[in-house]
Amino acid sequence: MFDLTGKGAIVTGGNTGIGQGIAVGLAKAGADVALVARSDASETARMVTDLGRRCTVIEADLSTIEPCERIVSEALDALGTLDILVNNAGIIRRNDALDFTEEDWDAVVDTNLKTLFFLSQAAGRHLAKNGGGSIINIASMLTFQGGIRVASYTASKSGVGGLTKLLANEWAAKGITVNAIAPGYIATNNTAALQADETRNRQILERIPAGRWGEPADLAGAAVFLASDAARYVQGHILAVDGGWLAR
């Protein structure tokens, strides 16, 4: 039930970090992968092709919705099929709420929420016509919590949780599963500042029952599950992969 052989997947932000971990996990399960990135994704592409799967890299800037239709079209041309969309690309800006700028608000919300919706729409139109598929959004612990100094990120990831449920409600009858993964503290470029802050790093580790930062590969199993037939009756769910963070 977890076999993805013959399926085609789009993974945004697939050049590094969580996107890389998920792309490789999907490839291990048999999927061919289209990586969407605005910087070099050759390392991830090599990891996918080394597993015997097809891989294409689609260069796109997801700060606007302009490339959404093109991404779906190019993925279909390269892979011959589209069955899975992983909306992973995202950015974060940090500042006290009293000093947060409109620029930092718009940049994060546009990338993390607006483009996520319109890429889902573009992929959803194809999936609805072709028997269904799976959309997996990358949410966050801040889908459930408030956090500090990341106003636009918290707003965007709370929105991702809501959109996941909304799209599941509308598209379940069309054979499209829509779910999300909420990573805990994962060692990536986005969390480099926290890892480098000795005090915050210690506080974070003390609160994680698993006692360690997560790794991008820790997200792969959840993604394979949600993309597979094993999850065909799972809808609108936000699956935390957090080392127990939310259990505290």
Residues marked as catalytic: 153
Helices (H), 172-219: 192-196, 198-207
C-alpha distances out from residue 148 to 59, 152, 153, 155, 187, Å: 32, 11, 10, 12, 19
Give, for 177, the enclosing helix (H) or strand (E).
strand 176-183
Q: CA dihedral in degrees (162, 166, 242, 206; nearest 10)?
A: 20
Tell me if 180 sits within 8 A of 163, measured CB to CB: no
Helix residue spans in the chain (DSSP H): 17-28, 42-49, 68-79, 102-109, 115-129, 151-171, 192-196, 198-207, 220-227
Closest among 198, 197, 191, 192 to 242, alpha carbons compared: 191
Rounded Cα distance between 41 and 46, Å, is 9
How far apart are the C-alpha atoms of 154 and 141, rounded to whole Å?
9
Residue with tokens 């990338």: 111
Q: How many CB atoms lie within 10 A of CB 169?
A: 12
